[in-house]
Amino acid sequence: MAAVASPAVDTTERVGAGTVEELQDAGVLTVAGTAIGARHGITVFWHEGQAYAVDNRCPHMGFPFARGTCKDGVLTCNWHYARFDLQSGGTFDLFADNVRTYPVEIEDGRVWIHPNRTDAGQERAHWLRRLDEGLEQNISLVQAKAVLGLHDLDTPAADIVRRAARHGLRFGSSRNADGWGDGLTILTATAHILEDLAPEDQSLALYHGVRSVGGDANGMRTTFDLEPLSVRDVPIERLQAWFREFIEVRSTDAAERTLRTAIAEGATPQQVATMLCAASTDHYYRDGSHVLDTVAKAFELLDLVGWEQADEVLPNIVPQIATSSRQEESNSWQHPVNLIDIVEPASVQLPEVLDLDATPSGQWDIALVDALLEDDPAAAIDALMAAFRGGMALADAAQAVAYASALRLTRFPTSNEFGDWDTVLHHFTYCQSVAQMAKRVPSLELARGVLHGAMVVYLGRFLNIPPAHLPGKRTLAAQPSDPEELTTKLLALCDQQSQVDEAGAVVYRYLTLGHEPQPLLAAMGGSVLREDPGFHDFQMLEEGLRLYHDLAAVGRLEESWQVLVAIARWQAAHSPTRRATTQTYDIALRLHRGEDIYAPSRY
């Protein structure tokens, strides 16, 4: 939503608000503003060394802003807690509206307020936009305000109906399996009866039609973009603080608008990534890995499409962050061992022990991984803190945690329930996302994610009881030696159900014989693509291969092999599927080749 921009100072007409000293002493002054178009008076605030003037009437429900509060550049109405950027008047809460601001001039120790008028054309454009927003957000109060505002400006009813109908058709009927919705019927009916109604009821009739269309489209619409604030030169530190606070109170619109402002103001990818990672780790293991997974994926997508698409990509992840679960509220994180009490003291010490400038080397002691896999969460945290004290880079510690989480998959016994595969996968993708973001933007906030990841690994310990083991020499010797035979056998195993252990043995055999890895990786990728792969299948393949390459690049061959075994075991556990997706692709491929699909079969 576009914020109300303050025009250049008009010195032909102004209203005095008192002296600077009076304003500083009181903090807030209210003055009559009818002479410059402020029907309800003007509130002037002295905040952070500057004077700001706004209309005294909250655009939501009319509460006087003189009884509101200002903090960190945010004006809050103390009735329904609508929040506004004090400088631009832009609202963070779409159930309200932007508040009109007025240019302020200080001359000879006195505070002067200048006009900020709009003409009828600007007013009409504003209310048409508010009508759109009321429909998009399905806020009936905003819809009613827009209809009334447009009616007062003598806007033809046909214009309002067309606007609402366009929304209903684009975002309701076209996305509804049943087609035309009841809302469009009601809207059409109200338009037809307007001439039979008393003038004072015509706006009410239009409101009923608009409201019904908004209800039809609700839940079937795409996400509608919010506009960044029109304010300029807001320090990135303030925007980051705003974003985290809005996420903390689950205020999705406010957080999104803050993020869009940061991007529009030219914040760097690193600054924006730091903002999102901080909010994502302000609580433990948000949404069971999904939040940080999504943040990491969003930045990886931007690596592919370019940072200039940030305003299209990143705002889409804000709702997930804002509404996510917080695992410190769950039983497993507090009983029988209170993991929060173990992690919090360590988090406080991170600024003292962690060198954020340390260069990642991929070198970490396997003893650290062993500590992470033990049945002692305090020892795991102690091991990480000792590594930080020894100068270990954040990305290296994060990689060690990610590798430990991968071993939970390598050692996952088939005696577990099938659904538990997803549990250890979520643990792995979370730790791997932390590791990837730690390479991108190491920060103290993200370091908390490493500690959280260690607790995630601890919580997965019961899914390695008893642990599955890598095959011994005798088992390996029973497998083929030829690389092509091994890859062929791997694919054949995935044509059968529950060949988990043998699939892992085939992959480990291939690697220990020193064969070129690429044919094996291609076979593993093909094994997924020929199925009807789900979201988790792609996660396992992508993150597993990424960790494999990261480990192999620094000479950790044995560790990298164990990650590939984890991938193979997952794939074998989830194969075969109906392969309907592949069938559709094969038909398309045959047509592309010019084959006669319609020809009778020879069989």
List strands edge to edge, sheet with 38-47. 28-33, 38-47, 50-55, 101-102
DSSP 84-143: EETTT--BSSTTS-PPPEE-EEEETTEEEE------HHHHHHHHHHHHHHHHHHT-HHHH
Cα-atom radius of gyration of the chain, to the nearest Å?
Answer: 30
- The neighbour count for residue 422, using CB atoms within 10 Å, is 11
Quote the tokens at residue 98: 């932007």
Give the C-alpha separation, 29 to 20, whole Å: 11
Quote the tokens at residue 161: 């109906």
Range with the poorest average pLDDT among 503-507, 579-583, 597-601? 597-601
Give the C-alpha separation, 52 to 184, whole Å: 44
Q: How confident is the model at residue 42 (pLDDT cuts 50, 70, 90)?
A: very high
Asked whether the predicted pLDDT for residue 14 surpasses 90, the reply is no
Higher pLDDT, 230 or 418: 418
Give the C-alpha separation, 454 to 114, whole Å: 58
Provide the angle, in degrees to the nearest 10, between the axes of the packed helices 120-137 and 199-217.
40
Tell me: cis bond preceding 228? Omega within 30 of 0 counts.
Answer: no
Give the C-alpha separation, 86 to 422, whole Å: 46
Closest CA to 155 of 195, 190, 203, 187: 203
Range with the poorest average pLDDT among 130-134, 222-226, 370-374, 513-517? 222-226
Q: Which of 79-88, 202-211, 386-395, 471-480 has the highest mean pLDDT?
A: 386-395
Give the C-alpha separation, 224 to 218, whole Å: 12
Alpha carbon distances (Å) from 450 to 14, 291, 591:
57, 15, 50
- The neighbour count for residue 430, using CB atoms within 10 Å, is 29
Q: Coil, strand or helix: which one is 2?
A: coil
CA dihedral 508, 514, 515, 521 (to 10 degrees): 50
Read off the DSSP letter of residue 222. Answer: P
Q: How confident is the model at residue 603 (pLDDT cuts 50, 70, 90)?
A: very low
Does residue 224 contact residue 142 with C-beta atoms inside 8 Å?
no
Give the C-alpha separation, 446 to 453, whole Å: 11
Kindly report, residue by residue over 286-321, the tens digit of the pLDDT.
998 899 999 998 998 888 888 998 998 889 889 999
Q: How confident is the model at residue 264 (pLDDT cuts 50, 70, 90)?
A: very high
Quote the tokens at residue 230: 């029109």
Closest CA to 363 of 399, 388, 389, 406: 399
What is the bridge-based pairing of β-strands 28-33 and 83-85? unpaired
Kindly report, residue by residue over 378-412, the tens digit of the pLDDT.
999 999 999 999 999 999 999 999 999 999 999 99
Quote the tokens at residue 538: 């792609």
Does residue 272 contact residue 259 with C-beta atoms inside 8 Å?
yes
Mean pLDDT over each residue of the chain, to the nearest integer: 89
Give the C-alpha separation, 26 to 124, whole Å: 37
- The neighbour count for residue 62, using CB atoms within 10 Å, is 11
Task: Count Cβ atoms within 10 A of the Cβ of residue 597 and give its class: 0-12 exposed, 13-18 middle, 19 or more buried.
Answer: exposed
Does residue 581 contact residue 392 with C-beta atoms inside 8 Å?
no
Give the C-alpha separation, 82 to 97, whole Å: 9
Does residue 308 contact residue 338 with C-beta atoms inside 8 Å?
no
- What is the predicted pLDDT for the residue at 307? 95
All residues at 6 or more sequence positions from 169 whose CB lies less than 8 Å from its CB, including other chains = 184
Q: Coil, strand or helix: which one is 358?
A: coil
Asked whether the predicted pLDDT for residue 358 surpasses 50, the reply is yes
Q: Which residue in the block uniquely carries the two structure tokens 């919580």?
A: 459
- What is the predicted pLDDT for the residue at 35? 62
Higher pLDDT, 4 or 410: 410
Does residue 41 contact residue 31 with C-beta atoms inside 8 Å?
yes
All residues at 6 or more sequence positions from 114 whose CB lies less than 8 Å from its CB, including other chains = 9, 10, 11, 13, 14, 36, 102, 103, 104, 105
Kindly report, residue by residue over 49-80, the tens digit of the pLDDT.
999 999 998 988 888 999 999 999 999 999 88
Does residue 30 contact residue 256 with C-beta atoms inside 8 Å?
no
Q: Which residue in the block uniquely carries the two structure tokens 């794939």?
A: 571
- What is the predicted pLDDT for the residue at 2? 32
Does residue 65 contact residue 101 with C-beta atoms inside 8 Å?
no
- Give first-to-last CA distance, the chain, whole Å: 64
Tell me: cis bond preceding 533? Omega within 30 of 0 counts.
Answer: no
Tell me: cis bond preceding 517? Omega within 30 of 0 counts.
Answer: no
CA dihedral 494, 498, 501, 507 (to 10 degrees): 10
Q: Which residue in the block uniquely carries the two structure tokens 């370019």?
A: 306
E strand segments, 108-238: 110-113
Helices (H), 441-554: 444-459, 473-477, 483-493, 500-512, 517-529, 535-553
Asked whether the predicted pLDDT for residue 5 surpasses 60, the reply is no
Read off the DSSP letter of residue 16. Answer: E
Asked whether the predicted pLDDT for residue 451 surpasses 70, the reply is yes
Do you know the residue count of the chain? Answer: 603
The one-letter code for the residue type at 35 is A
Give the C-alpha separation, 188 to 160, whole Å: 11
Does residue 90 contact residue 101 with C-beta atoms inside 8 Å?
no
Q: How confident is the model at residue 173 (pLDDT cuts 50, 70, 90)?
A: low
Give the C-alpha separation, 47 to 86, whole Å: 9
